[in-house]
Amino acid sequence: MDVLTPEQVADRLAAVHGDGAVGAPSKTPRRWATTTAVVDNLVGFIRNPAERWYLGYPEIDLATRGIGKGEVLLVVGRSHTGKSQVLLNGIVTNLINDPSAHVVIFAMDEPRELVVMKLFCLLQGKSATEVEEAIKGGDKTILAEFRAAAASELSRVAVVDDSLPLSAMTEVMDEAREWWGCNPSFCMLDYLELLPGGDSDATGVTSKAQAVKRWAKSQRVPIGLVHQAGRGAGQPGIAAGIHAGRYGGEHEAIFVLEVYRKKDRYDLSDWEKQYHANSVNLNLCKNKRTARLLDQIYYLDPECGHVHPYWEELVPDSG
């Protein structure tokens, strides 16, 4: 039997292991290795707050330090508690205060015209009924304001009301980048259960949430994902916390923001019923950024849908 030389042994080992495998030197680092690029991204996140997405609620923004690129904010709560409205408020706040803000909204739950109406009402501080009646009556002022908004703030919003798989959403994001010439600042998905593919049971919803998490990382855009809570998610009007979702999804999010209305409780006094008639609670029950949690009461304007601090003059007369 022929004896192999040390050089022949080395050649055969290299052929078996391949470049970069155990037993052979790697010429290039693997894609999951911690490189200077990863460190640079971390430093950039800390030093550049402008690259993060803020909702416009001071207490929430201070606690989260903003939503970073590729991160998922899960907004969860029962039906008709204001989950979508909370995100739309944040979108309008950014459109007004940041001319570079560009947003893509995947509105699977309602037609795009209704989403645009909500955004316009938030911009103008008017109710949808007021705007609709003015348009019906041919009010030139309202029509001029609508067209002005379409040419300014709303020109930086893309609203898609088709129920698209994530692969098609990627195409939309690419088209938006080409259209605007920049990366979208934020993306809203409304809502998780309506994403096509898979079932709406525990397994299906969890797999959809996992897919959104992977998609968010590939897009490198902050994601606001609306998630419907089921009837079993605690008692109405009382915080259910991190497990408020119907079937989960909280594990895939960096932040979980529960939205609930204390007016739904059954044990309120007459004064409490008045106080909470238009209140909304934002419960930051998961925060991997700073681990700071909070449950804050805000005021939801019944006319235009504006969510803002509960100012003293709005408190019902205690006398």
DSSP string, 55-111: -S-HHHHHHH--BPTT-EEEEEESTTSSHHHHHHHHHHHHHHH-TT--EEEEESSS-
Q: Which domains does the chain have, with CATH numbers?
A: 51-314 (3.40.50.300)
pLDDT band at 249 (very low <50, low <70, confident <90, very high): confident
What is the token pair recorded at 15? 């052929």
Decide: helix, strand or coil at residue 241.
helix
Q: What is the pTM of this model?
A: 0.85
Decide: helix, strand or coil at residue 186.
strand
Contact status, residue 68 vs residue 222, Cβ threshold 8 Å: yes
Summary mean pLDDT of the chain: 88
pLDDT band at 284 (very low <50, low <70, confident <90, very high): very high
pLDDT band at 21 (very low <50, low <70, confident <90, very high): very low
What is the token pair recorded at 239? 């915080």
* DSSP single-letter state for residue 162: S
What integer pLDDT is reported at residue 83 of this predicted model?
97
pLDDT digit string, tens, across residues 152-181 = 999 999 999 999 999 999 999 999 999 999
Phi, psi of 302 (to 5 degrees): -70, -15
Distance in angstroms (rounded) separating the CA atoms of residues 148 and 288 = 40
Q: What percent of the chain has pLDDT over 90?
A: 71
Secondary structure percentages of the chain, helix, strand, coil, to 5: 45, 15, 40
pLDDT band at 317 (very low <50, low <70, confident <90, very high): confident
Mean pLDDT of 192-198: 86
pLDDT band at 106 (very low <50, low <70, confident <90, very high): very high
pLDDT digit string, tens, across residues 201-222 = 666 888 999 999 999 999 999 9
What integer pLDDT is reported at residue 246 of this predicted model?
59
**Alpha-carbon separation of residue 55 from 85, 207, 213 (angstroms):** 11, 27, 20
What is the token pair recorded at 55? 């909702």
pLDDT digit string, tens, across residues 51-81 = 899 999 999 999 999 999 999 999 999 999 9
What integer pLDDT is reported at residue 87 of this predicted model?
98
pLDDT digit string, tens, across residues 81-103 = 999 999 999 999 999 999 999 99
State the alpha helices, DSSP H only, in the chain.
6-17, 36-47, 58-64, 83-97, 112-124, 128-136, 140-151, 166-180, 202-219, 270-275
The residues, ordered by sequence, that sit 6+ positions from 238 with a Cβ below 8 Å of its Cβ are 260, 262, 265
Min mean pLDDT across 20-29, 39-48, 248-257, 307-316 is at 20-29
Contact status, residue 238 vs residue 258, Cβ threshold 8 Å: no
